[in-house]
């Protein structure tokens, strides 16, 4: 019954949206904040550049974090002890320490020592490593949730370890890892706002500059939220579609 379900969902969405908007409007009206939207308009190009910077870095970091997270997951499952120790050590240290510290040490000490001067490159790599630690654990949880009988069945048909991962484990694990992975990628996009500490003019930094230059306080932040949402919402939507595509009963 797609008809009634879709229309009732639409109706509820509109109703909830109206209630939330009304509540928000009421709250703003109570504190008598006077808006000066026109003061921001001259800075629109800056805003778009900041947005492009944030999204470019996020995209690069996403690709890197998925690849690296996968490698770390394999590393944690390696039969070779040093590899296992290195991988779990990396995951625990990166996941357990603040991104701010990793950015500062990574850029001002490590990158300087390696003579890498581009903050964009360093920022993308550091953000990618940070999220990879979280993704590695999501991937590991998904892989380890595939039962021993599947490993045995794969061995029984003659698959070696890499064929087993490729044809049996990964296709089933992807579906279980998808919801957690989407959450991490959304969080990555938002974490990119911290990159201003190594001198990258990403979106949040641009808005701060914009607000002080135009003598406004909050005007920049509402477009800022919208600018993130127009990327994160479609990402979540796309992930849910993927989940449905991978759906099958076990």
Q: Which residues bind another protein (CB under 8 A)?
A: 149-150, 152-160, 163, 167-168, 171-172, 175, 246, 248-250
Q: Report the residue number, 117 or 161, with the smaller CB distance to another protein.
A: 161
Tell the burial category of 83 from Cβ atoms under 10 Å away from its Cβ (0-12, 13-18, 19+): middle
User: Minimum Å distance from CB 184 to another protein?
Assistant: 23
Q: Report the residue number, 150 or 193, with the smaller CB distance to another protein.
A: 150
User: Minimum Å distance from CB 248 to another protein?
Assistant: 5
Q: Report the residue number, 91 or 169, with the smaller CB distance to another protein.
A: 169
DSSP secondary structure of 100-136: HHHHHHIIIIIIHHTT---HHHHHHHHHHHHHHHHHH
User: Minimum Å distance from CB 174 to another protein?
Assistant: 9
- DSSP H helical ranges for the chain: 2-30, 44-76, 81-96, 99-105, 112-113, 119-144, 148-156, 161-164, 170-191, 203-213, 221-245
The tokens of 60 are what? 């690069």
Q: Report the residue number, 126 or 154, with the smaller CB distance to another protein.
A: 154
Q: Give the dihedral of Cα atoms 85, 136, 189, 121; nearest 10 deg.
A: 50
Q: How many CB atoms lie within 10 A of CB 131?
A: 28
C-beta separation of 136 from 72 below 8 A: yes
Q: Report the residue number, 79 or 82, with the smaller CB distance to another protein.
A: 79
Q: Report the residue number, 163 or 236, with the smaller CB distance to another protein.
A: 163
As a whole number of angstroms, the distance between CA 29 and CA 33 comes to 7
User: Minimum Å distance from CB 244 to another protein?
Assistant: 14
Residue 72 makes CB contacts below 8 A (sequence gap 6+) with 87, 90, 91, 132, 133, 136
User: Minimum Å distance from CB 98 to another protein?
Assistant: 39
User: Minimum Å distance from CB 71 to another protein?
Assistant: 23
């Amino acid at each position: 019954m797609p008809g009634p379900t879709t229309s009732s969902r639409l109706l509820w969405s509109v109703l909830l949206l109206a209630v939330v908007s009304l509540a928000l409007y009421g709250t703003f009206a109570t504190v008598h904040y006077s808006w000066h939207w026109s003061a921001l308009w001259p800075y629109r190009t800056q805003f778009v550049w900041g947005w492009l910077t944030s999204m470019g870095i996020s995209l690069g970091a996403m690709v890197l974090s998925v690849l690296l997270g996968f490698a770390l997951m394999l590393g944690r499952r390696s039969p070779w002890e040093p590899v296992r120790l290195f991988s779990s050590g990396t995951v625990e240290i990166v996941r357990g320490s603040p991104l701010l510290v990793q950015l500062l040490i990574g850029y001002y000490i490590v990158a300087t020592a390696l003579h890498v001067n581009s903050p964009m490159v360093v920022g993308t790599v550091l953000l990618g490593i940070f999220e990879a630690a979280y993704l590695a654990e999501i991937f590991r949880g998904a892989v380890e949730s595939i039962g021993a009988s599947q490993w045995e069945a794969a061995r029984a048909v003659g698959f070696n370890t890499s064929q087993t991962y490729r044809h049996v484990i990964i296709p089933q694990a992807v579906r279980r890892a998808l919801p957690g992975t989407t959450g991490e990628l959304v969080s990555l996009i938002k974490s990119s706002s911290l990159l201003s500490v190594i001198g990258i003019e990403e979106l949040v930094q641009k808005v701060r500059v914009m607000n002080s230059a135009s003598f406004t306080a909050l005007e920049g932040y509402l477009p800022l939220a919208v600018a993130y949402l127009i990327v994160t919402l479609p990402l979540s939507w796309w992930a849910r579609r993927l989940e449905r595509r991978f759906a099958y009963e076990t």
